[in-house]
A = this chain, B = another copy of it.
Amino acid sequence: MRILIVNPNTTASMTEKAAQAARAVAGHGTEIVAATSRNGPASIEGHYDGAIAVPGLLLEIRAGQAAGADAAIIACFDDTGLEAARTLADIPVLGLCESALMTAALLAQRFTAVTTLERSRVLIENLVVRYGMGGRAKVRAADIPVLDLEDKDSGALAKLRRQIELALTKDRAEAIVLGCAGMTDLAQLLQREYGVPVVDGVSAAVKQAEALVAQGLTTSKRGSYAAPIAKPYTGSMQAFAPE
């Protein structure tokens, strides 16, 4: 089984980190293939970055599926482009936020996702509501620029710890969800430290991808995710035209 992880931002060190996390949990016989978007922002911080990242992301998913991937993961906690990718692809597509929230829901009745910047907080709160977790999950922002997570000396970990502690005491969180693909290497450390489940989206998505493939399940093509209808695409988007 081959699982494609696409980093929808263009920062290769984050891709590498996600690939490592993925390989650490992948099952026997699962091959992890990682791709970094070649077209878009260096990090996804808010709605604008996210929207512009989507075409580059979809290119990688299309290429990955053509190259034989059995499932794809979008390695951004905003689940950027998830619905478009499910519409495009025949293979299952997973997002980090959806996968992580569902995983946390199997472990705890109340939990908190800690993300990077305040501007991403409402965006993730909207996903929480949409995925049906509005009554049990809260979202906090640790005031960490995404790329600071790549720099050990940025103070990012201390800020993250502070929000986890507030989650445990103020939100009555029974588990923590790490709300950025760039935090994936911290899950085990923090789980040991706080003694509650700490869910990483990359790991969660890999296991969901494996689960779907093993069950012979893929995205329904009846209704909202039906394959794109053939039509002219114009200008710089010409290459995206469905056949």
Binding site for B on A (CB under 8 A): 10, 25, 27-29, 37-43, 45-56, 58, 81, 83-84, 86-88, 92, 94, 98-99, 102-103, 105-110, 118-119, 121-123, 126, 129-136, 145, 168, 172, 174-175, 188, 191, 195-197, 199-200, 203-204, 207-208, 210-212, 214-220, 222-226, 228-229, 231-237, 240-242
Cα of A115 to Cα of B99 in the assembled complex, Å: 26
Given A48-B88, A197-B218, CB of A122 within 8 Å of CB of B231: no
Cα of A38 to Cα of B234 in the assembled complex, Å: 6
**Which residue of chain B is the closest to A227 with respect to CB atoms?**
B48
Check A107–B218 contact: CB distance below 8 A: yes
**Oligomer copy total:** 6
CB-CB under 8 A from A224, the residues of chain B are 46-47, 108-110, 119, 121-123, 174
Given A106-B208, A229-B45, CB of A234 within 8 Å of CB of B54: no
Check B52–A52 contact: CB distance below 8 A: no
Q: Among B29, B188, B203, B212, which residue has its beta carbon within 8 angstroms of that of A106?
A: B212
Check B218–A41 contact: CB distance below 8 A: no
CB-CB under 8 A from A242, the residues of chain B are 48
A-B contact pairs, 6 of them (CB 8 A): A25-B214, A42-B234, A98-B105, A118-B223, A132-B133, A175-B220
Cα of A223 to Cα of B212 in the assembled complex, Å: 31
CB-CB under 8 A from A220, the residues of chain B are 107-108, 174-175, 196-197
17 other contacts beyond A56-B235, A126-B130, with CB at 8 A cut-off? A38-B234, A42-B231, A42-B234, A46-B224, A47-B83, A48-B58, A48-B228, A52-B233, A56-B236, A103-B212, A105-B132, A109-B126, A110-B122, A131-B132, A132-B136, A168-B222, A188-B216
Cα of A175 to Cα of B211 in the assembled complex, Å: 17
Cα of A204 to Cα of B214 in the assembled complex, Å: 10
